[in-house]
Structure 1
Amino acid sequence: MSIKHPIISITGSSGAGTTSVKRTFEQIFRRENIEAAYVEGDSFHRYDRAEMRSRMAEEAARGNKHFSHFSPETNLFAELEALFRDYGNHGTGTTRHYVHDDEEEILYGAPPGTFTPWKPLPPGTDLLFYEGLHGAVVTDEVDVAKYADLKIGVVPVINLEWIQKLHRDRSTRGYSTEAVTDTILRRMPDYVNYICPQFTHTDINFQRVPTVDTSNPFIARWIPTPDESMVVIRFQTPRGIDFPYLLSMIPNSFMSRANSIVIHGSKLDLAMQLILTPLILQLVDRKKRAA
């Protein structure tokens, strides 16, 4: 953790909705005139798209049916830890960008499925903002979580997460239901070992819970809407959180435990603004005082 160079880390699985949460942070940064250095978790995959397909085929031929993007073997955990450590110490670090599609090819000048060259973060930023799969990962070799000052978990219940992934991969990536299902099954051991444990290290978890039937996510025709959902917000350390204020400001919210508040799904953005804005301003204020 760092006072002079704070780090905010948003962590969630594929299809969890971390990109939507990122937009809320961008709104806060823009409104409060905060300059953030943005880092995407995909940038720290070990292999580009073609290499990953090749490695998956090799592993499958060896009988390994669980070679996935979630594992230490397919990610640069040490390099991610080094980035967090370097930024926390000096406000610097090295990253790159994974080019997802044709639009990003125009923006970054590299083919989809490849990486841009490694380069330093822009100088003079107020904080580092990470969004991806492994923002709070801890293994026997690395501890990324200890370097982040504010760790946010985006954790829809598993059936909803699968529904969101199925719809995203089919609509935007052209995958079949069978292909997405195969990916979910292949990733399951690494999901259990490297994704889920992170949410014990996060400071706040946002867990969306549908209020409609999602018993079989593989045949769901629609993603449950915010109006068809509740969100459980869990604080690892409730001390300092003004729950009476939040309950008064968020209609129909209630506390389910001493460290958890439940809100209507349509009020998620409001809740995030109310909860996260003061926490972000605290980090920036500490930075300014230290300087």
Structure 2
Amino acid sequence: MSKRHPIIAVTGSSGAGTTTTGRIFNQIFASERIHAAMVSGDSFHRYTRAQMAVLAEKGRYGQRNHFALDANHIDRLEGLFYDYGINGSGQFREYVHEEDLDLIREGYEPGTFTRWAPLPADTGLLFYEGLHGGVISEQYNIAQYVDLLIGVVPIVNLEWMQKIYRDTNERGYSQEAVVKTIINRMDDYVTDIVPQFAHTHVNFQRVPMVDTSNPFNVREVPTDDESLIVIRFREHRDIDFPYLLTMIPDSHMSRHDTLVIPGTKLPLAMDLIVRPMVLELMAHKQFA
């Protein structure tokens, strides 16, 4: 952890909602005029999409299973966090998705990576969004470098529904292929993804209020107004719960460290909860 060069990480699996959370953080950074270095966890995958397909045929990982630590450059991610905490710099790259039209126009193919390059100069903080921002294992300790670690964790049935819907409707995969991916990476989800949420400062867990008993029979994903958000704070004694209950309509506490809000109030809640934390990091930075 570094007061001079703070790091914020949002961690959660594919389809969990980390991208949406990233957009909320971007809005906070823009309104507070914070120049953040933005890094995606996808860029630390070890293999291209084509290489992963070959490995899957050999029985390694399972196609598109990037949950496993050894399918990623966790050493480079830890190196980036370490370097940024020390001197505000580090190496990163970008993973090219189908929607990254600017990179495709530059000649990169979807499923590949850009070259490793230095982070932009003179950034106020590092923001990471991806799979492994809170990893602690026998070999790595990513979480120790993160000043604010956020978990985005829908209940698992909803997470599967969101992934199936996104990958079939937006990325062109068959439902059979997506379900196979979910099954193939389950062990890695349990061993490499889930333990991170014990180290987060705040968890945002979306819980549907409709029947999701069979997530593989997806017709439509529950909407925000059909969901609740369960928010758990690690340092709950520092949280002004009466203020949050007043500011967020129809919210209540289910435990001494847990706030429950309507699904439609997530942007408001994240702003009320996260903005002061970001500003506190920036204030400490000025006096470090």
Q: TM-score, normalised by structure 2?
A: 0.97
CA distance in 2 between counterparts of 1:190 and 1:108 reads: 34
Q: Corresponding residue for 1:87?
A: 84
CA distance in 2 between counterparts of 1:118 and 1:234 reads: 36
Work out whether residues 84 and 147 of structure 1, in 8 Å CA contact, stay in contact via their aligned partners in 2: yes
Aligned-partner SS, 1:42: helix
How big is the shift at 1:104?
4.6
Aligned-partner SS, 2:185: helix
Q: Corresponding residue for 1:137?
A: 135
* Counterpart selection for 2:195 from 194, 197, 201: 197
Structure 1 residues 180, 66: closer, same or farther in 2, change over 3 A? closer
Identity of aligned residues (%): 57
* Counterpart selection for 1:165 from 157, 163, 166: 163
How big is the shift at 1:65?
6.0
Q: Corresponding residue for 1:244?
A: 242
Work out whether residues 9 and 136 of structure 1, in 8 Å CA contact, stay in contact via their aligned partners in 2: yes
Q: Corresponding residue for 2:216?
A: 218
Q: Corresponding residue for 1:27?
A: 27
* Counterpart selection for 1:183 from 157, 181, 184: 181
Letter in 1 for 2:276: P
Work out whether residues 93 and 117 of structure 2, in 8 Å CA contact, stay in contact via their aligned partners in 1: yes
CA displacement 1:85-140 (0-9 Å, x = unmatched)? 00011101000000011525336541111100000001100000000000001111
Letter in 1 for 2:176: E
Q: Corresponding residue for 2:17?
A: 17
- Structure 2: any 5+ residue segments left out of the alignment? none
How many residues align? The count is: 287
Q: TM-score, normalised by structure 1?
A: 0.96
CA distance in 2 between counterparts of 1:66 and 1:53 reads: 5
CA distance in 2 between counterparts of 1:259 and 1:183 reads: 35
CA distance in 1 between counterparts of 2:80 and 2:231 reads: 29
Work out whether residues 155 and 208 of structure 1, in 8 Å CA contact, stay in contact via their aligned partners in 2: yes
How big is the shift at 1:151?
0.2
How big is the shift at 1:220?
2.3
Work out whether residues 151 and 202 of structure 2, in 8 Å CA contact, stay in contact via their aligned partners in 1: yes
CA distance in 2 between counterparts of 1:189 and 1:19 reads: 24
- Structure 1: any 5+ residue segments left out of the alignment? none
Matched, 1:53 2:50: no
Aligned-partner SS, 1:239: helix
Q: Corresponding residue for 2:272?
A: 274
Two-structure CA RMSD over aligned residues (Å): 1.4
Work out whether residues 59 and 67 of structure 1, in 8 Å CA contact, stay in contact via their aligned partners in 2: no
How big is the shift at 1:56?
1.1
* Counterpart selection for 1:70 from 67, 89, 105: 67
Structure 1 residues 172, 104: closer, same or farther in 2, change over 3 A? farther
